[in-house]
Structure 1
Amino acid sequence: MRTLLTGGTVVSMDPAVGDLDRGDVLVEDGVIVEVAERIDAPDAEVIDASDRIVMPGFVDNHRHTWQTAFRGIGADWTFGEWAAAMHGKVKPHYTPEDVYVATLVGRLEALHSGITTMLDWYHVAQGPEHEDAAVAALQDAPARSVFCLGAGWAAPHSVDDDIRRVRSELPGDGLVTMAWGLRGADDTGMDTLGRELELASELGLRTSLHTGSDGTQRPIADMHKHGLLRDTTTFVHGNGLSDEELRMLADAGSSISISPDVELKMGFGAPMTGRALAAGLRPTLSIDVVPSVAGDMFSAMRAAFAAQRGLDGGLRSRDLLAFATVDAAASCGLEARTGSVTPGKDADIILLRTDDLTVFPVTDPVGTVVSAGHAGLVDTVLVAGRVVKRDGALVDVDVETLRARLLESRHRVARAAGVPLDGTWRPRPAAK
C-alpha cells in the first residue's frame, strides 16, 4: 500500500512544501506522507516520474455533465440558444440511461484530462430515477466527485424531499459527496432561498448558485440585505456584478466559479477573474458545458489568462494554476483532502509529460502548464493513491463499449427531440 513517485519535477501548490526541480513523493494507504528531494522506500511500488511534472490533480467545481453526448453541437450558440436547445428541446427526452452514460463518460473524460475532482451540477430534473442514475455514474468512475443536486428550470417549487433523500444516500466523506445547486431568488423568491439555505446548513451541504447582472440588478446586494450570504456558497459566473457586491462575497467568505470559455463565447461578458481578486476573492475555474467548449482545465486556464491579460496585464501563471487546484478544492470544502501535493492530504496527483514536443524543453514548469499544456500531456493520474490512468490510458475502463452507448443515447435523444446532428441547427431562443 506504499507508492513512490520518483524523479519528477514537483509543483506542489503548497508554499510550505514548495517546488522541487527533482523530487520524490511517497504515498501510503492513499495519503501523501512525504515530499522530498529523495526518499528511501525500498518496499514501495515505484512509479518513474522522470521527464514528468508531478502536481495536484485539477478541480472543476461546476460542470453540467449530463450534456456530454452533445459535445461540440453548440460551439456557435449564444446563451439563449443553448438554453432553448439543451433545456427546451433535449432535456425532456432524457431517460435514466441517458443520464447515466453521459455522466459516466463525461466524468471519465474529465479524469482523462487530469481533473481528479469534479462537481457535477445536475439539473436534468426529471425525477428520482434520473438523480440515482447520475449518482451511480459518479460512483462507477474512479474519481473524486461532488454530486450537486440542482432542481433545474422546470422543477416543483419545493425540492426538499429530493435533497433529503439523496443526502441520506450520500452521507459520508467518500469519493462521491453531495452539494445543493440552488435556483436563486429570481426563480423562487427570497423567502424560499433563505429556507433552502437553512436546510442546506442543517444537512451539512455546501451550495452553488448561478448569478450575474446586466447592470440593473443587484442579486448579491439583495442576498446581503436579507442576511443570506454564506461562506459555504459558490457563486457561478458573476459577470456584471458590481465591485461592491464582489466585496460583499469576499467579506462573507463565499467563492466564485468562473467559466471563461462559456462566458466569453455566450455573451456573458468578460470573466470576473481580475475584479474578483481585487475585491479579495480567490477565483476558481470551471468548464460548464461541453456542447459549447472544451472539457479540459488547460483550455479554461488559458482562456482566463488571456482574457485578463488582455484587459489589464494582470495575473501570473501560478495564479491560474491555483485557481484550478487548491482554490477550487477549497470552494468544494475539500481543501483538507485535495488540491495540493501536501503530506496528510489524499494523493490526488497527476503526472504531465515534459518530453512531448509540444512543450519540450520545459524551462518554467508552471508557465508551461498554463500557457502550453493540453490533455495529451496527462500520462498518469492517481486518485486517493489509486492509479486510475497509466501510460496515457485509463485503467480498467471499457472505452469502446461506453462510446457505443453514448452514441446510441445521442442518436435516440436527437431523434426524439427533432435535433439535427449535421452542424447546421441554430435553436430559437425563447421569447422574453
Structure 2
Amino acid sequence: MKILLSGGTVVSMDPAVGDLTRGDVLIEDGKIIEVAARIDAPDAEVIDANDRIVMPGFVDNHHHTWQTAFRGMGADWTFAQWANAMHDTVKPHYTPEDVYAATLLGRLEALHSGITTMLDWYHVAQGPDHEDAAITALREAPGRSVFCLGAGWATPDSVEADIRRVHSLLIGDGLVTMAWGLRGADETGMDTLARELRLADELGLRTSLHTGGTRRPIADMQQHGLLRDTTTFVHGNGIGDDELRMLADAGSHLSVSPDVELKMGFGAPLTGRALAAGLRPTLSIDVVPSVGGDMFSTMRTAFSAQRGLDGGLRARDLLHFATIDAARSCGLDNRTGSITPGKDADIVLLRTDDLTVFPVTDPVGTIVTAGHPGIVDTVLVAGRIVKRDGALVDVDLAPLKNRLLASRDRIAAAAGVPLDGIWNPKPESA
C-alpha cells in the first residue's frame, strides 16, 4: 500500500533531507520511500497536506501513564506530596483493570497530541498481572511504545525472573518493545545495580534511571564502570557539570521533564548545562496529575526556562530534543525520529490554518512557541493512519472514558481520596 502526503511544509529533522516549503512524502508498506518537492505516484492514496506542516512524530521517553486517572489533581503538589499521594496512598489500591484503563487512555492521549513513540515508565509495582495489563493496553493502542519495567514489587531474588519473563513477551522489533527501569544504587546498592546492568546487557535491554541530588550518583557509577550508552538518566537536577561530561563521554542520555522539575522544586532543567557539557538532552512529560500531557507545552517550558537563564537555545533545538534525540535515547533512531527515506513512517500533520497558529511564516518557531494538540490533524505510525481529520481512527472513546472514571472513583473511595475538593496529601514520604 502506498500513501502520498502531498503539498505540505516538510520539517524533516534530517539534515540530508532538509526542510521543504512545499513537499511530498511517499510511503509504502509503512516505510518512507521518498521525500521531494514533487512526487508522481498515481497508484498511491493521496492525503492532501496543503495548509499542513509535515513533521516526524514526537518521542516522549519518560511518562508514567498509570497515573492518568488522577489528571490535574496534583497541580499544587510538591514532590513529597506527589510521592505520598501516588505511591503511598493510591498505588496500593490499583488492580490490573485500573492499570489497563489508565495506560490505554494515557497512550491514546499521547497519540492524539502527536506523540508517536512513548517510553512508558511503569512503576505501579504490584505483580505480574498488573504488568501484563499494562502491556495489553500498550499493544491495543496503535502507537510505538517502550514498556519500561520497574520491577519494584519483586524481591531482589525474583527481579531477574520477572525481567526475563517480560522480556520473553516483548522480544523482537514490534511496535511494543521493552526497557528496564532501574531502581538505582541509593535503593539497592552498587553491587545490585552492577548485577542488574549486566543482565540488561545480556538481554540487550536499554535502561532508564531516575537520578539527581547532591550525592554525586553519576561519579559513583563511573567509578564502578557502570555508565552505558544504553542508559537514559531522568531529571538529573543537582548533578555537577563534571558528571554531565561523564554522561557525554559515556554516550549516555538525559531526559529532562521541565514542567515537573520546575513545579515540584527539583531545580532548573538541565537543557543548557547538558549542551555545554556535550550532552544532547531529550524531553519528557513525566506525570499528568501535575502537568500537561503533550509535547508542545513541554517544549515551550524548556525553551522559556533556558532562555530566561542565559538566552540560549533556538526553537529547532527543542524539536531535536523531542524527536530524533529522544528516538536515539530509546535506541530507535534507525526507525523513527525524522522523515528519512528507509525509516518507518511515524509522521504527524499539523494544521497551519487554525487561528491559534495562523499565519505560519516560520514553521519551526510556530510549532515550538504556539503549537498545541488542537492543531494535530493526522498521525501515522509505521505508515498506519491512527488519527485523521482531528480524530483517532477506529477508537470508541466513550466506553474507555467510562472505564477510567470508574477506575478513578473506585481507587479514590478505597484510598479515602476526596474527589469533590482540593486534595492536599501530607508529605510523610519526603
TM superposition score category, shorter chain reference: over 0.9
Output the aligned Cα RMSD.
Answer: 0.7
1:299 counterpart (297, 309, 316): 297
Q: Does residue 257 of structure 1 match 2:282?
A: no
The residue type equivalent to 2:387 in the other structure is: K
CA distance in 2, matches of 1:10, 1:431: 48
Q: Does residue 54 of structure 1 match 2:35?
A: no
The residue type equivalent to 1:73 in the other structure is: M
Structure 2 residue aligned with 1:201? 201
Structure 1 residue aligned with 2:123? 123
CA distance in 2, matches of 1:229, 1:113: 33
Q: Does residue 317 of structure 1 match 2:315?
A: yes
Shift of 1:239: 0.3
Shift of 1:431: 5.5
Structure 1 residue aligned with 2:325? 327
2:375 counterpart (363, 368, 377): 377
Structure 2 unaligned segments of length 5 or more: list them. Answer: none
Contact 1:348 1:385 in 2 (8 A): yes
- 1:143-172 CA distances to partner (integer Å, 9 max, x unpaired)? 0000000023x6422411110000001110
The residue type equivalent to 2:236 in the other structure is: G
CA distance in 2, matches of 1:142, 1:68: 18
Shift of 1:423: 3.7
The residue type equivalent to 2:218 in the other structure is: I
Structure 2 residue aligned with 1:156? 155
CA distance in 2, matches of 1:73, 1:422: 11
Structure 1 unaligned segments of length 5 or more: list them. Answer: none
Contact 1:11 1:53 in 2 (8 A): yes
Contact 1:179 1:205 in 2 (8 A): yes
What SS does the corresponding residue of 1:425 show, helix, strand or coil?
coil
Structure 1 residue aligned with 2:407? 409
2:281 counterpart (260, 266, 283): 283
Shift of 1:315: 0.1
The residue type equivalent to 2:422 in the other structure is: T
The residue type equivalent to 2:155 in the other structure is: P
What SS does the corresponding residue of 1:147 show, helix, strand or coil?
strand
Contact 2:20 2:37 in 1 (8 A): yes
CA distance in 1, matches of 2:408, 2:162: 27
What SS does the corresponding residue of 2:66 show, helix, strand or coil?
helix
Contact 1:73 1:423 in 2 (8 A): no
Structure 2 residue aligned with 1:132? 132
What SS does the corresponding residue of 1:14 show, helix, strand or coil?
coil
- 1:278-333 CA distances to partner (integer Å, 9 max, x unpaired)? 00111000000000000000010000000000000000000000000000000000
- 1:37-62 CA distances to partner (integer Å, 9 max, x unpaired)? 00000000000000000000000000
Structure 2 residue aligned with 1:396? 394
CA distance in 1, matches of 2:221, 2:421: 41
What SS does the corresponding residue of 2:254 show, helix, strand or coil?
strand
Counterpart mapping for 1:261-276 below 5 A: 261-276=259-274
The residue type equivalent to 1:224 in the other structure is: Q
What SS does the corresponding residue of 2:32 show, helix, strand or coil?
strand
Structure 2 residue aligned with 1:106? 106
Structure 1 residue aligned with 2:74? 74
What SS does the corresponding residue of 1:387 show, helix, strand or coil?
strand
CA distance in 2, matches of 1:324, 1:114: 11
The residue type equivalent to 1:328 in the other structure is: A
CA distance in 2, matches of 1:431, 1:182: 20
What SS does the corresponding residue of 1:304 show, helix, strand or coil?
helix
CA distance in 2, matches of 1:149, 1:359: 38
Contact 2:61 2:119 in 1 (8 A): yes
CA distance in 2, matches of 1:201, 1:235: 17
Counterpart mapping for 1:83-98 below 5 A: 83-98=83-98
Structure 2 residue aligned with 1:143? 143
Shift of 1:136: 0.3
The residue type equivalent to 1:43 in the other structure is: D
Structure 1 residue aligned with 2:184? 184
CA distance in 2, matches of 1:430, 1:232: 34
Provide closer, same or farther for how the CA distance between residues 17 and 193 of structure 1 changes in structure 2, counting only shifts above 3 A: same
CA distance in 2, matches of 1:16, 1:106: 34
CA distance in 2, matches of 1:193, 1:54: 42
1:222 counterpart (220, 234, 237): 220
The residue type equivalent to 2:327 in the other structure is: A
CA distance in 2, matches of 1:193, 1:320: 32
